[in-house]
């Protein structure tokens, strides 16, 4: 695939010699890229033009005399707003996300039992949710915590879709489970801890299911876009970006929701952006204000944890709404979607 | 002043001895605090009750055998929601902030000239601003950058108030300038870099002007509340808390706006909370989405940089709206204030 | 496997009712754990004792009236210093790491060609390295960058071991490659981006090769230990912990080397600790001071990038020493190992 | 003072027009700076040369069509290694710091009583300390904690100098105390919370006492250098930089000691660099490994908290060594100073 040319600038140190400059020009030349030298009063700058994959591989900062290397164009292409001006809209099971359609994805952290999930699914649907979430494979910090039901959980999710009509979002953690997950679910979720699991990204790039890609705890906005680029590069253009909080020094919340990421992602990319206030805050009573803030900031969807009885949840109970709480929050969310001139689902 | 009692727990290490426990109990006793020992299957815990200022001064973590010290009650009192249930409402010059009243504070980063400021003030007022901001003393990272007009700037601000009726918010950086700043302005701003300049906090605690206290770049929510406690302790109960972004690894924005701080501060404290989207983002085109998100999350006000001609601003031009942009953003802000069921000013 | 009991404290809010407390006691009881209530002057605390895996799964923070949950014992067991007092020593190919033996692991970021790797291996050995590193599978932020040679790279690594006798450390990114990697290498590396790829951790827990586990960019010290616990839980006790820098706001270095992690990991765990100054700093001229600091702080090994000709490296050239630089740094490192009273290899 | 010219590059957006470029060139021209346009295949770059204080004040990022502004030269001058090649050596009371001389600064966090301080001073001296530290004015997060003895504390410090001959380092928090502090002490400390208290920096720039400037919790290395530039700009060239840990997500230590800051500061500046392992770690048992690491990384001094009886300290007891611990750690520090080929004091 032709992924186009890119450009960067190499700023030389004040003490750099003509030989230092020549060495770089030769290296660029041998790699098929071109360098233009511009000599300032105090420093010399080399502008570079070349193919994206060639430039990405050159260790230009390692050359003697180099002060810094400044990329001019973004290192991603397919995900960029420049590549595609209009918003990507993702439609599954008759409901949409992006381009004025706002998704409300709700459900428990983990599929625990058939009863638990079906009850959650029905409550979610009745309160206005447009998609159902639930984990059959769970990434857990502790090896002693509940790890998910696996294929049995996937089957329960499929049954809940039958019962409610809600499309299913579920997490994939291992390329060896891809076939099963793709068979049962409508949208494949890649969790924050796997945002740079590049084998997994490439694998989901080859299937036809949309992918919901969560931002890593320490990933920059551009790294999230590069991770999405891995998926698009393999041919799957239906990627949803998910802001779910980053790790900072502030311990009053589980993570710090980076609300600015919503408008920035939408400026830089045509892909839809979803916010997960439950994981960001880790607290039930922050779900409503953060959900409203996300829609006000331009998000294309919300992903909210809801459990029939949070007190007995096997994971993330502390941040799960119960059905009554979810119904109240959902009403406020639908209100602000109206205010924003957008449509639910 | 009686600031009441507080409580903490001391968790002992598994290897702690009876002597370790006794040594702590004696120390607590001699300081006038009380300890209750609770022996668990694996670890011993000492519950402590005592006066807030006594407890704060004991180096309990330094004692042999101590694993960790866990505060049970918050280390602040006067700022807490427990101390005062109802929202603090601050009224200056006929306009209010808090308790359902939302302030829209606008104006340039620095007072540069009489013409610049008067033009900004008139534009701000016409577009709906309820207060005027402008710096006469400027904290600048570089000693070579413009440092503000000082008293001349304060006089210009007072003239702008005459012309428009808008109350004035301006920054105090040095206790030696307090008299002059308090004389000319309506609300004294303490900047993020001085949030833990405790001499300055105590000084503004002794005057009758309301104080707008900005959160430090690396300050936790509780540290912001402790800084406010310094002001209230001296007798000044009119403090406005301001979230303006924290420093994280993400470089796409100047700082990361911690939107969750809005609902958390309002849960923990009765003081009003204002958001500064301009400093948080450092970018003009993020001011609108972040302003809307802040109101949706429950903020009692916004503080927005606006300059008659941002391109020639002496500071923060990159994040200042021009009057036309401000008027458009102000309209959207007034819309969402209505949606939230609150009142402008 | 019996992983023993653990303990935690639940601190109730001041406003908690007797019913709130009873509800928690019932839940603990039904889960087979026990709660002891201690009523303070201001707050009630419930001490909990129970099996580690039971406690880890209870959503106690979700219960009404709960202020916070404080773990008393560490959530890991097998990796802890309490579980095993003496240092774990790992020996491969006649060279050791841990318990007074310091490893010097050197080599290029990626295996690029047979000539490059063999040249690197010989230079490393001659300068005193005790192990050879080199990546056959490479995690790259950009999908357009060089992704490694795969099995061909593994074969070249094995040839280099034949030529020099140096044991091989190489990264595993995908459980589907485990058999091949385990066949060719001596120590399996899990990269920072995969530190919480729990499937991969469990997979390497089932093989007999030692594992070098790198700390994630945003992982706490305790999360690193929990990730190691995943490996030990499956039966593989030969884990090496690697500090390689964490992500902070400071951009003068690629990452911030958390030098304090070295003594803390050695206090909390019996596992050996290695430092990677090359990835932490991202700059050639910081490799020496950071290497010396790591040994002075108590590290059991160093992992240093070295390339025959860094200027043409396909990855990480900016932080790779050339053989001459490596020889000089290696001499200083051997000097400080002597000073510390330890042995190289 | 002539502070010389600087240089930067303005990278234009792909969509920028010729008018956008012209508007910038006119603005540069009217400010007395010069712009050179370089038109690339994809993007246009404007190189700018001008006076440091002019360039620092231009809001170039606010101009339409600008993608980013890249500084080429560092924004500081007087503190830079380019300005002065040889190490600054600071000598007070017969002992030196910098240029191969390593200072060992010890003493309690706060001056509490005459007896406490004199005992600490004698113990420090006997164990090899070359300077005495102690706070008479204390910045405390809580307004209810001990705030220092003020002038009485300064007098006690002066008496301890009489008794031991050790020069005194003490903190200044308020410009109104400058005269008193400068009268009694040998080195004025500016604390981390005041690193960007620019009024205070300018004030100490005008006196003849050396200044020990601590890095702020969220300050970058370049911001620390800019803060030092404030002091040098006023005429005081005797500044000591102090790394004392930065704030990150890692909670196992009070702050994260940024050990890489030591070699980077010494590359970028001629000023001496001291490390404070006590505040960085917040734990007694990390003081030794971090002290050794700091010297190995090239630090010119250490600042260590020591208290005759840490258990009754009024502040920072948890991180203070007792005299016996300090004597043992001091011996190891003197050992590694020898190993590094440097001299104590």
The answer to whether C53 touches A145, Cβ cutoff 8 Å, is yes
Say which residues have a Cβ less than 8 Å from residue C266's Cβ, sequence separation at least 6. Answer: C273, C298
CB contact under 8 A, C5 and B72: no
Please tell me the total count of domains within chain C: 2
**A251 closest CB neighbour out of B220, B262, B295:** B220
Torsion sign (Cα): A38, A39, A45, A50: positive
Tell me: do C248 and C328 sit in the same domain. yes
* Contact: D145, B62; criterion CB under 8 Å: no
Cβ within 8 Å of residue A56, ≥6 positions away: A75, C142, C144, C145
Domain boundary among A40, A71, A102: A71
Q: Which residues contact B324 (CB under 8 A, 6 or more apart)?
A: none
**For chain C, which chains pass the contact test of at least 3 CB pairs under 8 Å?**
A, B, D
pLDDT of residue D138: 85
Q: Point out the least confidently predicted range of A52-66, A316-330, C184-198, C273-287.
A: A52-66
Q: Which pLDDT does position D2 carry in this prediction?
A: 46
Same domain, A42 and A130: no
Nearest to A9 among D6, D36, D45 (CB): D45
Query: Using CB atoms, which chains have 3+ pairs under 8 A with B?
Result: A, C, D
Q: Read off the pLDDT of each residue in B280-289 and give the average, rounded to a whole number.
A: 92
Nearest partner of B121 among B291, B303, B307, judged by Cα: B307
Report yes or no on A83 lying in a domain. no
Q: Do the Cβ atoms of B42 and C5 come within 8 Å?
A: yes
Burial of C326 (0-12, 13-18, 19+ CB in 10 A): buried
Q: How many helices (H) and strands (E) does chain B have?
A: 11, 15
Of D7, D45, D251, the CB nearest to A41: D7
Res D1 pLDDT > 50: no
Q: Which of these ranges, A105-114, C108-117, D312-321, has the smallest mean pLDDT?
A: D312-321
Mean of pLDDT values over B242-258: 95
Same domain, C35 and C174: no
Out of B93-102, C39-48, D240-249, which region has the weakest mean confidence (pLDDT)? C39-48
Q: What residues in D contact B144, CB-CB < 8 Å?
A: 3, 52-53, 56, 75
* pLDDT-based confidence at residue A2 (cuts at 50, 70, 90): very low
Question: Is A157 within 8 Å of A111 (Cβ atoms)?
Answer: yes
Reference A278, options A107, A159, A140; nearest CA is A107
pLDDT tens track for C36-70: 887 776 678 888 888 777 777 777 777 888 888 88
Determine the average pLDDT of the residues in A110-115.
94
Domain's final residue, options A71, A98, A126: A71
Residue A95 phi, psi dihedral angles, 5° rounding: -125, 150
Q: CB-based contacts of A166: which residues, under 8 Å, 6+ apart?
A: A93, A121, A124, A125, A129, A130, A131, A132, A160
Residues 6+ apart with CB under 8 A from D265: D221, D224, D225, D241, D243, D271, D273
Kindly write down the DSSP assignment for every residue of A3-45, as one continuous string: --EEEEEEEEPTT--HHHHHHHHHHHHHTT-EEEEEE-SS-EE
- Residues D115-119 have a mean pLDDT of 96
Can you give the pLDDT at residue C2?
A: 46
Residue of C nearest to B255 (CA): C249
Q: Do A281 and A228 lie in a common domain?
A: yes
ipTM computed for the complex = 0.92
Nearest by CB: C47 against B38, B67, B73: B38
* Proportion of chain D above pLDDT 70, given as a percent: 97
- Torsion sign, CA atoms B113, B116, B122, B127: negative
Range with lowest mean pLDDT among B199-208, C23-32, C334-343, D126-135: C23-32
Whether the predicted pLDDT of C341 surpasses 50: yes
User: Does the residue C144 lie in any domain?
Assistant: yes
Q: How far is CA D60 from the centre of its chain?
A: 30
Residues in chain A: 345
pLDDT of residue B5: 65
pLDDT of A298: 98
> Which pLDDT score is estimated for B1?
40
Please tell me whether residues D167 and D115 are part of one structural domain. Answer: yes
For the segment D46-55, the average pLDDT, to the nearest whole number, is 79
Cβ within 8 Å, pair D264-C286: yes
Residue A122 lies in a domain: yes
CATH code of the domain in which A44 resides: 3.30.70.1140
Range with the largest mean pLDDT of B139-143, B300-304, C277-281: B300-304
Angle at C230 between CA C224 and CA C234, to 5 degrees: 150
Residue C191's pLDDT is 96
**CATH at residue A194:** 3.20.20.70
Distance CA D174, CA A52 (A): 54
Please tell me whether residue B64 adopts helix, strand or coil conformation: coil
Same domain, yes or no: A253 and A298 = yes
- For residues D51 and D121, membership in a common domain is answered with no
Same domain, B200 and B52: no
Interchain CB distance below 8 Å, C144 and A3: yes
**How confident is the model over A290-311, as a mean pLDDT?**
95
Distance in angstroms (rounded) separating the CA atoms of residues A240 and A98 = 9
Residue ranges making up the domain that contains B103? 90-344
Task: Determine the Cα–Cα distance for residues A213 and A219; give it in Å rounded to an integer.
Answer: 12
A119/D51: higher pLDDT: A119
Q: For the residues D265-290, what does the mean pLDDT come to?
A: 95
Q: What is the tens place of the pLDDT at every residue in C66-91?
A: 888 887 767 788 999 989 999 999 99
Inter-chain touch B317–D61, beta carbons under 8 Å: yes
Between CA C266 and CA C270 the distance in angstroms is 6
Instruction: Give the integer Cα–Cα distance in Å for D5 and C330.
Output: 41
Same-domain check for residues B200 and B56: no
Residue A10 has what pLDDT? 87
Same domain, D55 and D125: no
Q: Are residues C181 and C243 in the same domain?
A: yes
Chain segment A5-30, per-residue pLDDT in tens: 667 888 888 788 999 999 889 888 88
Q: Report pLDDT digits (tens) over D76-116.
A: 889 999 899 999 999 999 999 999 999 999 999 999 999 99
Measured CB to CB, residues of chain D less than 8 Å from chain A are: 5-7, 9, 11, 14, 36, 38, 40-43, 45, 47, 49, 67, 70, 72-73, 82, 247-249, 251
The nearest alpha carbon in chain B to C67 belongs to B72
Percent pLDDT > 70 in chain B is 97
Residue C283's CB: how many other CB atoms inside 10 A? 21
Whether D116 and D230 map to the same domain: the answer is: yes
Is the residue at B80 inside a domain?
Answer: no
pLDDT of residue D31: 82
Q: Is D267 among the domain residues?
A: yes
**Of the partner residues A176, A230, A314, the one whose CB lies closest to the CB of residue C143:** A230
Nearest to C174 among A199, A226, A313 (CB): A199
Q: pLDDT for B158-196, tens place per residue?
A: 999 999 999 999 999 999 999 999 999 999 999 999 999
Highest mean pLDDT among B36-45, B129-138, D42-51: B129-138
What is the pLDDT at residue A6? 64
| Residue in chain B nearest A292 by alpha carbon | B296
D101: in domain: yes
Query: What rounded mean pLDDT belongs to chain B?
Result: 91
Question: Does C335 reside within a domain?
Answer: yes
Tell me what pLDDT residue A230 has.
Answer: 94
Chains touching chain D, criterion 3+ CB pairs below 8 Å: A, B, C
In a domain, B145, yes or no: yes
**DSSP string for C9-26:** EEEEPTT--HHHHHHHHH
Min Cα–Cα distance to chain B from A337, Å: 11
Closest CA–CA distance from residue D305 to any residue of chain A (Å):
25
């Amino acid at each position: 695939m032709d992924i186009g040319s890119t450009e960067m600038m190499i700023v030389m140190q004040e003490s750099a010699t003509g030989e230092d400059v020549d060495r770089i020009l030769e290296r660029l030349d041998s790699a098929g890229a071109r360098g233009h030298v511009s000599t300032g009063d105090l420093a010399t700058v080399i502008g570079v033009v070349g193919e994206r994959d060639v430039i990405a591989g050159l260790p230009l900062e390692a050359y003697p005399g180099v002060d810094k290397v400044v990329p001019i164009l973004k290192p991603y292409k397919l995900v960029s707003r420049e590549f595609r001006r209009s918003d990507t809209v993702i439609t599954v099971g008759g409901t949409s996300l992006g381009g004025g359609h706002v998704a409300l994805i709700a459900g428990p952290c983990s599929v625990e039992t058939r009863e638990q999930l079906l009850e959650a699914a029905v409550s979610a649907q009745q309160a206005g949710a447009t998609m159902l979430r639930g984990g059959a494979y769970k990434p857990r910090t502790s090896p002693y915590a509940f790890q998910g039901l696996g294929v049995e959980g996937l089957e329960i999710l499929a049954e809940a879709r039958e019962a409610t009509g809600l499309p299913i979002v579920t997490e994939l953690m291992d390329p060896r489970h891809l076939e099963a997950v793709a068979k049962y679910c409508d949208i494949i979720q890649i969790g924050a801890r796997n945002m740079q699991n590049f084998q997994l990204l490439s694998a989901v790039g080859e299937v036809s299911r949309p992918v919901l890609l969560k931002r890593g705890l320490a990933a920059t906005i551009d790294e999230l876009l590069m991770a999405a680029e891995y998926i698009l590069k393999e041919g799957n253009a239906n990627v949803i970006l998910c802001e779910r909080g980053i790790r900072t020094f502030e311990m009053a919340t589980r993570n710090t929701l980076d609300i600015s990421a919503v408008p920035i992602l939408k400026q830089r990319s045509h892909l839809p952006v979803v916010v997960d206030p439950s994981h960001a805050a880790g607290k039930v009573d922050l779900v409503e204000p953060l959900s409203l803030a996300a829609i006000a900031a331009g998000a294309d969807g919300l992903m909210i944890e809801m459990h029939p009885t949070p007190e007995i949840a096997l994971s993330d109970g502390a941040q799960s709404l119960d059905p009554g709480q979810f119904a109240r929050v959902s009403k406020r969310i639908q209100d602000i979607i109206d205010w924003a001139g957008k449509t639910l689902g």
